[in-house]
């Protein structure tokens, strides 16, 4: 069954971390998070039952993000997601759908309490 466009109603920003380095004059450049892509997704916070179960297993997963299937590994666990001013760490590699494997990808997200400043 194909994913419906209306299901992906949350606009999220995926960011990647860029380490500083040095400029042409040898001065340190700051490390920072930069916007990688804006994508449509479905963010589903874990239910209380799932959240308690995850906490008992020492997992910090607080939500799931479902996106259209992505070829390659362009979104990974070194990145983070900004949604509604909340910052989520991507805690898992993308999990493909169980039907055909090419309709959607689901990521487990952790965090969600830090406010985005910027």
Distance of CA 98 to the CA centre of its chain: 20
Asked if 50 and 97 count as a contact pair (C-beta separation under 8 A), the reply is no
Rounded Cα distance, 81 and 14, in Å: 5
Q: Provide, rounded to the nearest whole percent, the portion of the chain with pLDDT above 90.
A: 32
pLDDT of residue 49: 66
For the cut 70, the answer to whether the pLDDT of residue 116 exceeds it is no
Q: What is the pLDDT of residue 115?
A: 47
Please report the pLDDT score of residue 37 as a whole number: 92
- The per-residue pLDDT for 103 is 83
- Domains defined along the chain, listed by start: 5-16+27-115 (2.40.10.270)
What's the CA gap between 40 and 67, in Å, rounded?
A: 7
52 close to 79: Cβ distance less than 8 angstroms: no
Q: pLDDT digits over 29-86, tens only?
A: 888 899 999 999 999 988 766 656 655 555 678 899 999 887 766 888 899 999 999 9
- Mean pLDDT across the chain, nearest whole number? 81
Mean pLDDT, range 16-29, rounded to an integer? 86
Contact (CB, 8 A) for 77 and 65: no
- What are the backbone dihedrals phi and psi of residue 40, each rounded to the nearest 5 degrees, phi first? -90, 135
pLDDT confidence of residue 6: 82
pTM higher than the cut 0.85: no
Query: In 3D, which of 66, 54, 59, 60 has the Cα closest to residue 96?
Result: 66
């Amino acid at each position: 069954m194909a994913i419906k466009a209306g299901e992906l109603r949350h606009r999220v920003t995926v960011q990647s971390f860029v380490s500083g380095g040095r400029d042409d004059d040898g001065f340190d450049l700051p490390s920072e998070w930069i916007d990688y892509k804006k994508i449509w997704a479905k963010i589903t916070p874990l239910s209380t039952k799932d959240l308690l179960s995850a906490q008992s297993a020492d997992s910090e997963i607080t939500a799931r993000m479902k996106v259209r299937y992505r070829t390659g590994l362009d979104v990974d666990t070194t990145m983070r997601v900004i949604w509604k001013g909340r910052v989520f760490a991507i805690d898992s590699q993308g999990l493909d759908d169980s039907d055909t494997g090419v309709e959607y990808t689901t990521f487990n997200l952790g965090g969600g309490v830090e406010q985005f400043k910027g």
